[in-house]
Structure 1
């Protein structure tokens, strides 16, 4: 069954949705969109290093995304304006990665596939990496859900409960690096943050509690992947952007349903 490239693509999209959904909720709650941008944009530098040193793609992107996330975390709260710092680092890392790829002459590089994803080219090995990463992130988030939620809601309450907010921030950082590494094949570095934020934002108006928001985000992400692939297959549109457009449609629908529910009450 997995010899069908469309089946592999759907499974890859669902795997990324499952990994990104709970993490995306925390990105929305903590207003970490720029943080996600900086981490994902750094992944293109990891691609260049992986190709230059003949390393597995996931190892290079994971290492660079993790380094970027740790650097940003360490610099936060030390006199730097975070939006400015993240903007500088995100675009500098992306530019450095693009420049680095130009020096790799003995390897044919499809930059568009890395920037916007190439889910239709997902192989069996890629599928295994995506689902292993999704399982790892989901397990960590489930295990640390209560401390992460407490630290997100109120840092003082977290301290009073014996929870270290910086440690929980580090957990989110590690999970974000893993999601970036596994999602680059599906939606590319420029659209990873969209798949983190949009499904979570779409589920927010309809959710009654944090857990239902995470589940709703996973469902919306999976449906977005399926519909985006269907749109790409029927209308011959770019697959990664089509998936994000489908997610944006769910976001608009969620806003409308949320406002209708408020007026009904």
Structure 2
């Protein structure tokens, strides 16, 4: 069968993660939540340890830990702590405590590097079902709440006037972020999840005149990065997760160079007039 080919499974897994991360990554960029995503991703290692200790599924453990981290940051941010300080403390402490907790798990052979930088080539059929199930759930939730999420992101006061609760929309984004972290850990790993969220969205920005267009372009860049990075890693014999992020970074640099060139042309035409 076609799914017996590990490269096909890897490509499908990378595509599913990229499609889920793209629209969510746009909100991360618009809300300047990049470090928030990093803290949530780092909590995934705690989830790995939790799932091993309790003998539960990896997806359930990572989702629980990521969701608890995201909710904790959201709650503590309104208690007088500076957001950058709070995120710095929680992101690094979650990763450190997770690594220590994993070291206490005995009798289990654990590929820690696979969780840190991903192991997309080891994606199984079960992993594919989880990745695509989570990705479709995230996409459905974002599509359903898109107008409310966009209004709450761009203008919280306008959202209040329209009868929307910005905190509820923040909770929706928190839930989606935890879901993406849970499905992406197999593909790009804990250390690179935030990069896959932010870089395609940032690369799409110079070509986008509307939020919807930015989300679609980010999805295209994410899918191309996942599959192109997979192919490059296969031929160059490099780590797959980091190679995917490297390709996304190159696309980001190229997009910004094109954007700067367009801006320079526009200024030149304006000066002539």
Once the two structures are TM-superposed, the CA of residue 54 in structure 1 deviates from its matched residue by 1.0
Give the secondary structure class of the aligned counterpart of 1:201.
helix
Greater Rg over alpha carbons, structure: 2
Question: Paired residue for 1:75?
Answer: 76
Structure 2 unpaired stretches of 5+? 267-273
Q: Which aligned pairs between 1:124-139 and structure 2 lie closer than 5 A?
A: 124-139=125-140
Once the two structures are TM-superposed, the CA of residue 253 in structure 1 deviates from its matched residue by 1.0
List per-residue Cα deviations over 1:218-259 (Å, max 9, x = no partner). Answer: 000000011111111111000000000000011011101112
Q: Report the number of matched residues.
A: 265
Partners of 2:250 and 2:3 lie apart in 1 by 29
Partners of 1:109 and 1:52 lie apart in 2 by 12
Partners of 1:180 and 1:108 lie apart in 2 by 23
Question: Paired residue for 1:119?
Answer: 120
Question: Paired residue for 1:248?
Answer: 249
List per-residue Cα deviations over 1:97-150 (Å, max 9, x = no partner). Answer: 100111111100010000000000000000010000000000000000011000
Q: Which aligned pairs between 1:16-165 and structure 2 lie closer than 5 A?
A: 16-165=17-166
The range that moved more, 51-60 or 254-263, is 254-263
List per-residue Cα deviations over 1:73-112 (Å, max 9, x = no partner). Answer: 0111221011111111111111111001111111000100
Question: Paired residue for 1:8?
Answer: 9
1:206 matches 2:207: yes
Question: Paired residue for 1:230?
Answer: 231
Partners of 2:260 and 2:78 lie apart in 1 by 36
Q: Which aligned pairs between 1:159-178 and structure 2 lie closer than 5 A?
A: 159-178=160-179
CA contact (8 A) 1:58 1:182 kept: yes
Give the secondary structure class of the aligned counterpart of 2:4.
coil
Partners of 2:143 and 2:181 lie apart in 1 by 19
Once the two structures are TM-superposed, the CA of residue 261 in structure 1 deviates from its matched residue by 2.1
TM-score, normalised to structure 1, is 0.99
Partners of 1:91 and 1:158 lie apart in 2 by 34
Give the secondary structure class of the aligned counterpart of 1:186.
coil
Partners of 1:123 and 1:29 lie apart in 2 by 34
Partners of 1:5 and 1:172 lie apart in 2 by 32
Partners of 1:40 and 1:5 lie apart in 2 by 26
Output the aligned Cα RMSD.
0.7
TM-score, normalised to structure 2, is 0.96
Once the two structures are TM-superposed, the CA of residue 262 in structure 1 deviates from its matched residue by 2.0
Partners of 1:250 and 1:43 lie apart in 2 by 27
Following superposition, which runs of at least 4 residues in structure 1 exceed 6 angstroms of deviation?
Answer: none
Question: Paired residue for 2:187?
Answer: 186
Partners of 1:146 and 1:261 lie apart in 2 by 30
Once the two structures are TM-superposed, the CA of residue 52 in structure 1 deviates from its matched residue by 1.4
Partners of 1:102 and 1:222 lie apart in 2 by 35
Once the two structures are TM-superposed, the CA of residue 156 in structure 1 deviates from its matched residue by 0.5
Partners of 2:260 and 2:92 lie apart in 1 by 36
